């Protein structure tokens, strides 16, 4: 191109021609370098890389943030002794991105090599759950299998693992957890979700993000199988949501000594909005939807009969699948109803056992916006550990990325908890109310008080303050019945010399049945008498109100009957007199 650089610019077209001539003089290699820089900056921000931040901090990593109640004994006695939770986390340098870490975990992961021992457990509804066992002797060099592995006297700690969405025991992160936990001398059992782990669906029940019945059943079974062994539970991703919900539903009445929740979504409704917000999140949304559709195709006969199969095949997101499958099978009115009912964030306040929660603030699947910070801080049994980086279930560390930080932190926490006095011991108490319990479903039952008032009561334990407010029938009321029955039994003994305590059981029962009508009628007579004596002012007040409210009507009737003669009977005239 002829570039008249020395000629004067006569028109705007000449100016553009001069610009093109100048650009053509720049070497092609410079353009390639510029394109590489622009691409690098775009990918660095798109993938949310933090390598430069690691360089600026001297590769020291970021400190682990801990959220807990200031009066928490779990923190003072357990977490305070965990060095990893009070240290720093530095991601593998060549995996300095939450997206790169998450993808590397799912496609590579570098899991240890070992074999599980499978056990098929049949539920009461006909379902089948695959329990994959890894004993400590299976991974210890030269160790012989324990003779008491299936004995009720076995005291080896047992860790139950709840996988994430569409994950099973073959997932890389679960193999990391199982192997290194068994290496420490503990036994591990992975409770696969229904229809996963190569097991067919054998009933019309499917798992979902809030399905806690399988976890409850498996834990109770394992506790009965090994009652002397401390039992711990670890939940990952959706499994962590199920775990926290289960802990909140059952309170202290569970045989679990402690638990750990890894990368929980917490609030499914917020997570649904988050995963469809940005382009990179939509990638995960589409990938998880493909996994769910693959799960549905494995069990097509059931889904085709129970759900909308055409909608399942056309699903492009998790929400689409939940709308056409999960909510229908789970009998939820809408998708949002399913998300609200199954979110574990509303159950954190009811957790009554030691619980450690680990989440990464850059998790590309489970957003930090859903973390229930205040609820975790309010509950003395919960400690929340957050790291600045880590991705979803990844947390790779070291140059070779051969280990996961959260696996080491989980094992350290469980070890310290096991050696402390803060392990939970099951207590047989009534099941706590869940946020969705309705008082309509709990009674009411009629309670007649001593002053004749009728109040509603339920199964809640009554505190002294509530007793004063409700004015419940005193304890000596029952003692009176016992005294009456004792006196009748004594009369029988006097009239019948052969009567003794060993032969009076049937007669005593008969006397109770005969005396029951008197016990029912007598209190009402007494209450009416007390009502007339103690509440005479209340009765006269009611009479006064009835007279004053009905008198204008009576006066109007009298006026119509007697005419002018009835005017003097009006309340105003009476009051003036």
Quick one: 409 and 386 in the same domain?
A: yes
Output the six-digit token pair for 174.
């679960």
Burial (CB < 10 A; 0-12, 13-18, 19+), residue 535, is middle
Burial (CB < 10 A; 0-12, 13-18, 19+), residue 42, is exposed
Output the six-digit token pair for 538.
């209340």
DSSP H helical segments within 419-475, as ranges?
464-470
Residue 316 lies in a domain: yes
CB of 217 within 8 A of CB of 139?
no
Its pTM surpasses 0.85: no
Quick one: 194 and 324 in the same domain?
A: no
- Burial state string for 426-438 with b = 16 or more CB within 10 A and e = fewer than 16: eeeeeebeeeeee
From the CA atom positions of the chain, what is the Rg in Å?
Answer: 36
Burial (CB < 10 A; 0-12, 13-18, 19+), residue 546, is exposed
CA distance readout (Å), 390 to 94, 518, 542: 13, 73, 72
CB of 218 within 8 A of CB of 233?
no
Residue 475 lies in a domain: no
Residue 200 lies in a domain: yes
pLDDT at 108: 92
pLDDT tens track for 299-320: 999 999 999 999 999 999 999 9
Which CATH number characterizes residue 389's domain? 3.40.50.1820
- Report helix, strand or coil for 203: coil
Quick one: 325 and 410 in the same domain?
A: no
pLDDT at 472: 39
Quick one: 286 and 316 in the same domain?
A: yes
CA pair distance 508, 498, nearest whole angstrom: 15
pLDDT at 566: 45
Quick one: 296 and 164 in the same domain?
A: no
Quick one: 287 and 174 in the same domain?
A: no
- Report helix, strand or coil for 187: strand
Quick one: 182 and 254 in the same domain?
A: yes
* Mean pLDDT for the stretch of residues 101-122: 95
Residue 260 lies in a domain: yes
Nearest CA among 329, 291, 298, 293 for reference residue 167: 291
CA distance readout (Å), 434 to 210, 215, 218, 260, 431: 13, 17, 21, 21, 9
Could you tell me the residue range of the domain that residue 288 belongs to? 274-335
Rounded to 5 degrees, what angle do the CA atoms 393, 397, 403 make?
70
Beta bridge partners of 359: 386
* Mean pLDDT for the stretch of residues 67-83: 97
pLDDT at 141: 72
Residue 568 lies in a domain: no
CB of 389 within 8 A of CB of 406?
no
Quick one: 262 and 280 in the same domain?
A: no
With 50 as the cut, is the pLDDT of residue 479 above it?
Answer: no
* Mean pLDDT for the stretch of residues 338-362: 97
Q: Which of 388, 419, 450 is the last residue of a domain?
A: 419
With 90 as the cut, is the pLDDT of residue 122 above it?
Answer: yes
Q: On the CB side of 540, how many CA atoms lie within 13 Å of its CA?
A: 5
Q: On the CB side of 548, how many CA atoms lie within 13 Å of its CA?
A: 8
Terminal-to-terminal C-alpha distance of the chain = 123
How many domains is the chain built from? Answer: 2
CA pair distance 221, 120, nearest whole angstrom: 12
Output the six-digit token pair for 338.
């399913």
Q: Show Cβ contacts of residue 487 under 8 Å, excluding neighbours closer than 6 positions.
A: none
pLDDT at 151: 76
Confidence of residue 16 (pLDDT cuts 50, 70, 90): confident
What are phi and psi for residue 153, nearest 5 degrees?
Answer: -95, 0
Q: Which of 335, 363, 385 is the last residue of a domain?
A: 335
CA pair distance 523, 512, nearest whole angstrom: 16
CB of 265 within 8 A of CB of 345?
no
**Number of Cβ atoms within 10 Å of the Cβ of 260:** 27
Quick one: 199 and 260 in the same domain?
A: yes
User: What's CA 42's distance to the chain center, in Å?
Assistant: 38
CA pair distance 23, 3, nearest whole angstrom: 11
CB of 196 within 8 A of CB of 220?
no
- Report helix, strand or coil for 398: coil
- Report helix, strand or coil for 43: helix
* Mean pLDDT for the stretch of residues 343-366: 97
How high does pLDDT run on average in the chain?
81
Residue 21 lies in a domain: no
Residue 199 lies in a domain: yes
pLDDT tens track for 42-64: 999 999 999 999 999 999 999 99
Nearest CA among 174, 308, 286 for reference residue 238: 174
- Using the structure block, give the residue that is written with the tokens 């003097």: 568
Helix axes 279-298, 268-275, angle to 10 degrees: 110
Identify the weakest region by mean pLDDT among 63-77, 142-156, 407-421. Answer: 142-156
Quick one: 258 and 301 in the same domain?
A: no
Nearest CA among 387, 379, 388 for reference residue 344: 379
Quick one: 413 and 391 in the same domain?
A: yes
Output the six-digit token pair for 481.
């019945």
With 80 as the cut, is the pLDDT of residue 522 above it?
Answer: no
Size of the chain, expressed as the number of residues it contains: 577
CA pair distance 190, 135, nearest whole angstrom: 11
Confidence of residue 557 (pLDDT cuts 50, 70, 90): low
With 60 as the cut, is the pLDDT of residue 484 above it?
Answer: no
- Burial state string for 275-303 with b = 16 or more CB within 10 A and e = fewer than 16: beeeeebeebbeebbeebbebbeeeeebb
CB of 92 within 8 A of CB of 391?
no
- Cα-Cα-Cα-Cα torsion 241, 244, 248, 250, nearest 10 degrees, comes to 100
Confidence of residue 15 (pLDDT cuts 50, 70, 90): confident
Quick one: 214 and 130 in the same domain?
A: yes
Q: Which of 419, 453, 486 is the last residue of a domain?
A: 419
Residue 160 lies in a domain: yes
pLDDT at 23: 87
């Amino acid at each position: 191109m002829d570039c008249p650089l020395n000629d004067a610019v006569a028109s705007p077209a000449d100016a553009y021609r001069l610009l093109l001539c100048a650009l053509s003089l720049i070497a092609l290699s410079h353009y390639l370098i510029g394109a590489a820089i622009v691409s690098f900056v775009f990918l660095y921000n798109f993938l949310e890389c933090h390598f430069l931040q690691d360089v600026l901090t001297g590769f020291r990593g970021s400190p682990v943030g801990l959220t807990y109640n200031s009066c928490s004994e779990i923190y003072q006695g357990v977490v305070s002794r965990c060095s990893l939770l009070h240290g720093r986390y530095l991601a593998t340098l060549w995996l300095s991105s939450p997206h790169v870490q998450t993808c590397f975990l799912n496609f590579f992961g570098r899991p240890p090599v070992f074999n599980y021992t499978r056990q098929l457990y049949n539920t009461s509804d006909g379902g089948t759950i695959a329990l994959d066992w890894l004993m400590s002797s299976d991974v210890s060099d030269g160790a012989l299998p324990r003779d008491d592995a299936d004995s009720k006297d076995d005291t080896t700690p047992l860790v139950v693992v709840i996988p994430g969405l569409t994950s099973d025991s073959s997932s890389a992160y679960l193999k990391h957890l199982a192997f290194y936990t068994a290496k420490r001398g503990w036994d591990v059992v992975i409770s696969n979700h229904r229809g996963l782990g190569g097991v067919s669906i054998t009933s019309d029940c499917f798992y979902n993000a809030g399905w806690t019945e399988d976890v409850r059943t498996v834990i109770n079974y394992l506790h009965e199988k090994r009652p002397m062994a401390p039992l711990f539970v670890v939940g990952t991703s959706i499994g962590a949501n199920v775990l926290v919900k289960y802990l909140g539903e059952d309170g202290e009445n569970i045989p679990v000594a402690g638990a750990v929740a890894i990368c929980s979504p917490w609030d499914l409704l917020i997570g649904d909005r988050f995963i469809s917000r940005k382009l990179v999140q939509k990638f995960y949304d589409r990938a998880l939807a493909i996994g769910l559709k693959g799960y549905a195709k494995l069990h097509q006969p059931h889904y085709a009969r129970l759900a909308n199969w055409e909608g399942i095949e056309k699903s492009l997101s998790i929400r689409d699948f939940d709308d056409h499958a999960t909510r229908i099978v789970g009998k939820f009115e809408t998708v949002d109803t399913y998300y609200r009912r199954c979110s574990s964030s509303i159950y954190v306040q009811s957790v009554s056992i030691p619980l450690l929660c680990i989440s990464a603030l850059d998790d590309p699947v489970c957003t930090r916006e859903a973390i229930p910070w205040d609820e975790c801080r309010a509950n003395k049994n919960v400690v929340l550990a957050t790291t600045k980086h880590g991705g979803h279930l990844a947390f790779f560390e070291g140059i070779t990325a051969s280990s996961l930080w959260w696996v080491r932190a989980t094992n350290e926490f469980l070890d310290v908890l096991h050696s402390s006095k803060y392990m939970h011991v099951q207590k047989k108490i009534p099941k706590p109310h869940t946020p969705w319990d309705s008082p309509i479903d709990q009674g009411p039952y009629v309670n007649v008080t001593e002053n004749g008032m009728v109040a509603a009561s339920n199964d809640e334990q009554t505190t002294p303050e509530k007793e004063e407010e409700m004015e419940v029938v005193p304890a000596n009321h029952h003692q009176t019945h016992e005294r009456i029955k004792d006196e009748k039994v004594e009369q029988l003994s006097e009239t019948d010399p052969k009567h003794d305590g060993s032969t009076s059981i049937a007669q005593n029962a008969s006397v109770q049945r005969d005396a029951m009508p008197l016990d029912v009628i007598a209190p009402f007579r007494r209450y009416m008498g007390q009502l007339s004596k103690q509440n005479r002012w209340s009765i006269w007040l009611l009479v006064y109100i009835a007279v004053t409210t009905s008198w204008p009507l009576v006066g109007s009737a009298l006026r119509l009957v007697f005419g002018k003669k009835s005017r003097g009977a009006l309340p105003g005239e009476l009051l003036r007199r």
